[in-house]
Copies of this chain bind each other. A is one copy, B any other.
Amino acid sequence: MRLTDGELKTFDAEGYLFFPGAFSPEEAAYLRHEAEIVYAMDRKEVWRESSGAARTAFAAHLYNEGFKRLGAHPRLIEPVEQVIGGPLYMHQYKVNAKAAFDGEVWQWHQDYGTWKRDDDMPEPRAMNIAVFLDDVTAANGPLLFIPGSHKLGVIDAGHDLETTSYPLWTLDRDTVTELAERGGCVAPTGLAGSLLMFSSLLVHASPPNISPFGRVIVYLSLCHVDNHIRAFNREEWIAHRDFTPIVPLSGDCLDELVAARMAMA
């Protein structure tokens, strides 16, 4: 999976790229089932909303074989290596649920803002790449992006410890409005298996999910190995301290797991 020159230009201008159907329905369904297994675990890495519904399973690549392989999948690692320009380590790995009816808001923020302030990551030489494990629609709390907002470096933010279950450095409304008047506001939606790569500086948010359907998205935050974090303020399963370069597996690395699940069914 090499990005074309056109894709690289689009990424540079917009701050994100969207690849519908990058993973097969079978791969997505397999991982969706694994997400349920992970969410049922009583582990400190599995965070819950005020309702008790699972919100995020951190570091699932360290205790689940399917998510381990996804964490070294060439469809995720190679395009990010191409843009970041070198070997990557896993800074953060999240399996994010947005539960039916209860899925909470994520306010407007830049991920790198948190990584810089909390973790002392030197530069924004890091990237998010996400895999939809459910169909993401206008109805179930899609990601919202402000295209082009990654061009402005780290934007002033306040530490929001109140409006959601997860502490976040969030942008004020005037700033978000000003950015959106220039770049607009988009919601990439698509079927399970779709892939979404976005700059760690891209301003984004996600509304509550009031629909009767939950939706799970896996997020890898990949960082150039030379750019590893310097401060260890957060739990090591939130901001990882293993800076070993990820060696991509082969493109069929999920096949045997998918086949084994199907044989069981």
Q: Which residues of A approach B to under 8 Å, CB–CB?
A: 100-101, 105, 107-108, 137-142, 144, 173, 176-177, 179-181, 185-187, 189, 205, 207-213
Contact = CB atoms under 8 A, between A and B. Distances in A.
4 pairs of A and B residues whose beta carbons are closest in the complex: A138-B138, A138-B187, A180-B212, A177-B212
Contact of A139 (B105, B144, B181): B144
Contacts of A142: 138-139
Given A137-B187, A207-B207, 13 more contacts: A105-B208, A107-B210, A138-B142, A138-B144, A139-B142, A140-B185, A141-B207, A144-B210, A176-B212, A179-B212, A180-B213, A207-B210, A208-B208
Contacts of A101: 173, 176
Nearest to A173: B101
Contacts of A176: 101, 212
Contacts of A137: 138, 185-187
A130 to B, nearest CB: 16
Contacts of A211: 144, 180, 185, 205, 207
Contacts of A100: 173, 177
A139 B145 CA distance: 9
Contacts of A185: 137, 139-140, 211-213
Contacts of A210: 105, 107-108, 144, 205, 207-208
A189 B211 CA distance: 16
A180 B212 CA distance: 7
A108 B213 CA distance: 13
Contacts of A213: 180, 185
A212 B139 contact: no
Contacts of A180: 211-213
A19 to B, nearest CB: 18
Contacts of A105: 208, 210
16 contacts: A100-B177, A101-B176, A107-B210, A137-B138, A137-B185, A137-B187, A138-B138, A139-B142, A139-B144, A139-B186, A144-B211, A176-B212, A177-B212, A205-B210, A207-B208, A207-B211
